[in-house]
Amino acid sequence: MGTLIEEIFGRKAGRSVQAGEILLLDVDYIMSHDNTTPLAIKAFREIGKPILDKNKIVLHLDHAYPAPNVLAAENHKNIIKFVKEQGLPHFFHQGVCHQVMIEEGFITPGAIVIGADSHSNTYGAMGAFGAGLGSTEIGVAWVTGKCWFKVPETIRIELTGKAQSGVYAKDVMIYIAGLLGMDGGTYRSVEFGGEYIDNLPMHERIVFPNMSTEIGAKCGLIAADEVTLQYLENETPAKGPFEMIQPVNPRYERVLEIDVSALAPQVACHPDVDNVKPLSQVEGLEVHEVYIGTCTNARYEDIEIVANMLKGKKVDPFTRVIITPASERIYKKAMKNGLIEILLDAGCTVTGTGCGACIGRHGGILAAGERALTTMNRNFIGRMGSPLSEIYLASPATAAATALTGRITDPRRYLNH
């Protein structure tokens, strides 16, 4: 009996649990990447005990991969040495950690997965608990297989209606961030549901838990359903049967109902994710870079939307349009289906996979005074480079329309109805 998070935690605890309780739970997978693994290794060495279960550990190189400088290279060298020394079976450099976690079947309904990355909330799209933690806890979990959690209160976001053409999950989620604010979900589980969510395919659903981080949430959850099962069976090596955990007579702290039918494309403006405006209010603003990438919006379908809009056209010659597929699997599919060629012909730059420009390490850094429109999830000052640059967040369709003009542009001008 309870909210989705109470049901998921209760299943692991073997008893019914309630918001406010503190639990010590077995975790299914422990994720970290090249930015956060070094401190986890330090904690692990200091504890001085062996790894409990190597199979639970998943390491990625994605934040600065391939290495853009010597420090990053040393970092990768040390991590690879550790992986070899410990004989760890799950080591990847095939794309953004969260996308690879899902593609490789580590994320299944009811799983508890912790990650040393704040966007580990992404896993909630599969009906799993995913949460970001610091590196020390990752090192602790390697040794103990466990992690402590306070069972959070839940904010339920009930999304009804049908989005207009040109309005995507990203627009809806940005709108929610604007409503709730950057600390509107702090410590909370944010449960997304309703007929709008029920009808969304997985690649769109993922946007909501992914960006629940931007409102401070502990986790963002969508209950597993037929869409989840189909995705797991068709797109991942995960083996069922899967438990479709649902909320049961839940008591929510707050329920927010939003009808998406009337919503227009939205933009989160410099310098805060909750500085949200309808696109119409910023249309025409000059941009110097359009970046389509990250764990939020660089999946195959996102790239397909962009390619369809750019097919046979040329992007603005003075705007750098950079596309970073979230994973190699996505990259290969896009290549096989001719999308990469369309993008290159349109004048885009397609980079290797990974976190790329999103964290300002490489792959599209901004100069002082420049403005980027991106499909990222956060727009903190200086995140993509110069502290004097600006980041605007929007959907892949808005990014494509903006790429064509070099100015923030409503995608509905270019979409075929």
CB of 360 to other proteins, least distance (A): 9
CB environment 164-189: b (16+ within 10 A), e (fewer): eebbbbbbbbbbbbbebbbebbeebb
- Per-residue tokens: 143: 């040794």
| Pairing relationship of beta strands 129-132 and 112-115 according to DSSP bridges | parallel
Contact predicate 276/175, CB 8 Å: yes
Q: Which stretch binds other proteins (CB under 8 A): 39-47, 194-202, 220-228, 302-310?
A: 39-47
Interface mask (CB under 8 A) for other proteins, residues 363-402, using x and -?
Answer: -----------------x----------------------
Contact predicate 405/279, CB 8 Å: no
Among 39, 179, 256, 285, binds other proteins (CB under 8 A): 39
Sheet with 289-292: strands ordered across? 276-278, 266-268, 390-393, 371-374, 289-292, 320-323, 349-350
Using CB under 8 A as the binding rule, the residues of this chain from 217 to 236 that contact other proteins are: 218
Rounded Cα gap, residues 224 and 366, in angstroms: 39
The count of chain residues that interact with other proteins, using the rule CB under 8 A, is 33
Contact predicate 264/279, CB 8 Å: yes
Q: Which is nearer to other proteins, 118 or 405 (CB)?
A: 118
Among 1, 24, 248, 344, binds other proteins (CB under 8 A): 24
- Contact between 67 and other proteins by CB under 8 A: the answer reads no
* Residue 313 burial (10 A CB sphere; 0-12, 13-18, 19+): middle
By residue count, the chain amounts to: 417
- Contact between 135 and other proteins by CB under 8 A: the answer reads yes
Q: Which is nearer to other proteins, 379 or 398 (CB)?
A: 379
Q: Which stretch binds other proteins (CB under 8 A): 141-149, 162-170, 238-246, 317-325?
A: 141-149
3-state secondary structure of 225: coil
Q: Which is nearer to other proteins, 36 or 296 (CB)?
A: 36
Q: Which is nearer to other proteins, 22 or 368 (CB)?
A: 22
- Contact between 68 and other proteins by CB under 8 A: the answer reads no
CB of 71 to other proteins, least distance (A): 8
Residue showing tokens 């010659």: 317
Residue showing tokens 């290549």: 335
Among 17, 19, 30, 43, binds other proteins (CB under 8 A): 43
- Describe the crossing of helices 70-86 and 37-47 by its angle, rounded to 10 degrees: 40
Among 132, 166, 193, 209, binds other proteins (CB under 8 A): 132
CB of 143 to other proteins, least distance (A): 7
Q: DSSP letter string over 128-197?
A: -EEEE--HHHHHHHHHHSEEEEEPPPEEEEEEES-PPTT--HHHHHHHHHHHH-TTTTTT-EEEEESHHH
Q: Which is nearer to other proteins, 148 or 162 (CB)?
A: 148
Sign of the CA dihedral with 361 first, then 363, 369, and 375 last = negative
* Residue 285 burial (10 A CB sphere; 0-12, 13-18, 19+): middle
Q: Closest Cα to residue 350, out of 316, 397, 303?
A: 303
Q: Which is nearer to other proteins, 47 or 258 (CB)?
A: 47
Using CB under 8 A as the binding rule, the residues of this chain from 177 to 196 that contact other proteins are: 182-183, 186-187
Residue showing tokens 């946007």: 207
Among 14, 48, 312, 317, binds other proteins (CB under 8 A): 48
CB of 328 to other proteins, least distance (A): 25
Among 6, 28, 137, 390, binds other proteins (CB under 8 A): 137
- Contact between 210 and other proteins by CB under 8 A: the answer reads no
Interface mask (CB under 8 A) for other proteins, residues 89-118, using x and -?
Answer: ---------------------------xxx
Residues near other proteins (CB under 8 A) are: 22, 24, 36, 39, 42-43, 46-49, 71, 116-118, 132-137, 139-140, 143-144, 146, 148, 182-183, 186-187, 216, 218, 380
